[in-house]
Amino acid sequence: MERFFGYYPGVVSVVTAQHASERNVMAAGWHAALSVAPPLYGVAVAPERYTYDLIVSSGAFAVHFLPFEHARAIAASGTLSRRTGVDKFQELGLEWAPGEATGAPILQAAYVAYECRVTNRVPVGDHDWFVGEVLAVHHDPRAFDERMLQRADVSPGAVYYGRSTYERLGDGPRVAFDPREIRGENG
């Protein structure tokens, strides 16, 4: 069962956290927008992850979405371990700046990032689900059009298929549907 379990394909987020002088970055396959009002975002982090303790201690984290060109860094941030002494920011060449709302590291390569303050932590099997109130949103204005949709000519995120396999999104045609033309019940 484990071999086929997961949400594949899917976009992997990159989570950062910092407490005192310690910081880390990790890939997270299980994450989701949870609410608009208030703005809430959730991410699953296993207790054995170095980032877990940083989130618990600081009460904050940031969630990032990186373009496909950074797929190697996404994969490596999920396989390298800070516990072995690896500074993944340095090792992977990830430039960052402290977030203005939480101090969590904000990756400069992200086309969008959410700074979150932990509002709830729910044990869910072998992970804890951290619910964070989004206090700040950082985005690359070049990546979005006037309707705040990601531009087709900008490298979008990487789709993850499992076992360190990624694919570039956005190479196919985009189809937009006018909601007024769609018939049926909301649901």
pLDDT in tens, the chain (187 residues): 455 556 567 888 999 999 999 999 999 989 999 999 999 999 999 999 999 999 999 999 999 999 888 989 998 998 888 988 889 999 999 999 999 999 999 999 999 999 999 999 999 999 999 999 999 999 888 877 787 777 766 666 777 877 778 777 766 555 666 666 655 555 5
User: pTM of the entire structure?
Assistant: 0.86
Which of 3.30.700.30, 3.30.70.330, 2.30.110.10, 3.40.50.300 is the CATH number of 8-168? 2.30.110.10
| Domain layout of the chain by residue ranges | 8-168
Residues 6+ apart with CB under 8 A from 58: 17, 18, 19, 102, 103, 104
